[in-house]
């Protein structure tokens, strides 16, 4: 039960603090009068702060404070999202997103997975799979809800409602953390990582190739998620249909993530990426912008380690700002093609066969 509660908590905090912005972007633009570029500065700042703080929050997890972060930092995120619903200046908008970035650094997947690993030992892998299975539907919740709330309350009013979703995470995570800590006392904790493991990995070229690949994947995923409604609107889709199509990203991500265990999932990931890239490269490329976020999310979530995610997010923090610049210069279709081009690092074999074992040594 504890793992399912954490999965629910991750779903709600991703929906309320991560997907709320793209789900409400057209409404926020209308409500505030700010441009897409100005609005996108907020989540860009949050991503960069989150990336910078991830090593620090990782050390807090190692000191046994992962549970406290999972419980209390969602409350900080809730205050930030609620503040976005009332702020009237761009400076205030950026300050609140900075606050959200601090909260996200210790309350999203990285902290959750590290906490599960410490508490469940060898059983953490199955637990992490369950969390990603459920939390993959965060966008499925956020986009239709954003469409409805944005129409009823306006962009900023809807953000206050999304803050309510984030507030629910505090008691949910509190119960989950308590149950998992009781389980640790039963003797299921994972042995500590041998000293020098990270330093050894940093000396491997494959490590940096994987880091660069994840940076490209996060960049691609972030651009397309942030502007998915804009992409559909550019193709003449009605707002309701665009929200429905964006909501399909979550189920597609979950399905592709379940294509096969172990090596089978990496084959499925690269196969889906290859199909996606070919669709974008051919005539009418970019007609289906929902494919790329699904593919990106699947590649991102298959077999990743926390340190790789940190490297990826240092590049991925530029997603909204860079995406807005690409859309402004070449239109939404060019933004989609640019993201796919970056992700060809994976398709070209940046993560070679056996890299996870041979390059880094025995697991």
pLDDT given at position 160: 97
In whole angstroms, give the CA distance from residue 53 to residue 66.
14
- Secondary structure of residue 361 in the 3-state scheme: coil
Question: Taking residues 103-107, what's their average pLDDT?
Answer: 96
Rounded Cα–Cα distance for residues 20 and 246 (Å): 12
Long-range CB contacts (< 8 A, 24+ apart) of 156-160? Answer: 156/28, 156/31, 156/32, 156/84, 156/85, 156/86, 156/87, 157/85, 158/20, 158/24, 158/27, 158/85, 159/20, 159/24, 159/28, 159/81, 159/82, 159/84, 159/85, 160/81, 160/82, 160/85, 160/86
Percent of residues, the chain, with pLDDT higher than 70:
68
pLDDT at 340 > cutoff 70: no
Whole-model pTM: value is: 0.73
Mean pLDDT of 87-106: 97
Residues 70, 107: contact at Cβ < 8 Å? yes
What span, in angstroms and rounded, lies between the C-alpha atoms of 115 and 181? 10
Is the pLDDT score of 257 beyond 50? yes
**pLDDT computed for residue 343 by the predictor:** 52
Stronger pLDDT, 127 or 315, i.e. the higher one? 127
pLDDT band at 341 (very low <50, low <70, confident <90, very high): low
- Give the three-state DSSP class for 321: helix
Token pair 């986009």: residue: 143
Q: Any idea which residue has 């570029």 for tokens?
A: 37
Q: 355 near 210, Cβ under 8 Å?
A: yes
Mean pLDDT computed over every residue of the chain: 78
Residue 261 burial (CB count, 10 A): 8
Average pLDDT over residues 198-223: 86
Average pLDDT over residues 21-29: 95
The whole-number pLDDT of residue 198 equals: 77
Res 208 pLDDT > 80: yes
Of 127 and 195, more confident? 127
Highest mean pLDDT among 140-149, 189-198, 263-272, 299-308: 140-149
Q: Tell me, what's the pLDDT at 122?
A: 79
Higher pLDDT, 256 or 47: 47
Q: E-strand spans in 195-349?
A: none
CATH 2.40.128 fits 193-358, yes or no: no
Structure tokens at 161: 């409602």
Higher pLDDT, 231 or 288: 231
Residue 153's pLDDT band (cuts 50, 70, 90): very high
Q: Which of 255, 256, 275, 280 is nearest to 266 (CA)?
A: 256
More confident residue, 169 or 320: 169
CATH code matching the domain that covers 1-192, chosen among 1.20.1250.20, 3.30.460.80, 3.40.190.10, 3.40.50.720: 1.20.1250.20
pLDDT band at 220; cut points 50, 70, 90:
confident
Residue 289 in tokens? 């912008």
Identify the residue with better confidence: 103 or 201.
103
- pLDDT at residue 118 is higher than 90: no
Percent of the chain at pLDDT > 90 equals 45
Q: Report residue 174 as tokens.
A: 């509190």
Distance of CA 186 to the CA centre of its chain: 32
d(CA 363, CA 337) in angstroms, rounded, equals: 37
Over 80: is that where the pLDDT of 186 sits?
Answer: no
Matching residue, tokens 């995470």 = 169
Q: What are the extents of the domains in the chain? A: 1-192, 193-358
Q: Please determine, for residue 293, whether its predicted confidence score (pLDDT) is greater than 90.
A: no
Local confidence band at 279 (pLDDT 50, 70, 90 cut-offs): very low
Alpha carbons 338 and 328: distance in angstroms, whole number: 13
Instruction: Tell which residue, 101, 139, 99, 103, has the closest CA to residue 296.
Output: 139
Q: Model confidence at 362, in pLDDT bands (50, 70, 90)? A: very low
Question: Comparing 1-192 with 193-358, is the CATH topology the same?
Answer: yes
Q: Supply the pLDDT for residue 321.
A: 54
């Amino acid at each position: 039960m504890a793992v399912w509660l954490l999965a629910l908590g991750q779903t709600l905090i991703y929906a309320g603090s991560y997907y709320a912005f793209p789900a409400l972007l057209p409404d926020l633009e209308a409500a505030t009068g700010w441009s897409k570029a100005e609005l996108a500065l907020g989540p860009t700042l949050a991503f960069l702060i989150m990336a910078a703080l991830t090593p620090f929050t990782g050390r807090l997890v190692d000191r046994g404070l992962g549970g406290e972060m999972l419980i209390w930092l969602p409350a900080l995120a809730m205050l930030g999202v609620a503040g976005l619903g009332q702020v009237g200046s761009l400076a205030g908008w950026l300050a609140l997103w900075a606050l959200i970035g601090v909260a996200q650094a210790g309350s999203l997947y990285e902290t959750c997975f590290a906490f599960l690993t410490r508490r469940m030992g060898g059983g953490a892998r199955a637990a992490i799979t369950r969390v990603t299975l459920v939390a993959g539907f965060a966008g499925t919740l956020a986009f239709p809800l954003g469409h409805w709330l944005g129409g009823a309350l306006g962009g900023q009013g809807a953000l206050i409602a999304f803050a309510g979703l984030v507030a629910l995470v505090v008691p949910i995570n509190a119960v989950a953390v308590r149950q998992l800590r009781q389980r640790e006392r039963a003797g299921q904790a994972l042995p500590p990582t041998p000293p020098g493991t990270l330093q050894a990995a940093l000396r491997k070229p494959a490590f940096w190739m994987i880091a660069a690949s994840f940076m490209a994947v996060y960049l691609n995923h972030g651009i397309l998620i942030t502007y998915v409604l804009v992409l559909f609107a550019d193709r003449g889709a009605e707002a309701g249909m665009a929200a429905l199509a964006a909501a399909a990203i979550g189920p597609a991500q979950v399905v592709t993530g379940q294509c096969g265990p172990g090596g089978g999932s990496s084959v499925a990931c690269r196969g889906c990426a290859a199909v996606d890239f070919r669709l974008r490269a051919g005539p009418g490329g970019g007609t289906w912008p929902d494919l790329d976020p699904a593919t990106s999310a699947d590649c991102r979530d298959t077999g990743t380690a926390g340190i790789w995610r940190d490297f990826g997010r240092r590049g991925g923090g530029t997603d909204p700002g860079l995406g807005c610049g690409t859309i402004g210069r070449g239109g939404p279709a060019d933004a989609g093609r640019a993201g796919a081009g970056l992700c060809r690092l994976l398709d070209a074999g940046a993560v070679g066969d056996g890299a996870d074992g041979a390059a880094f040594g025995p697991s």
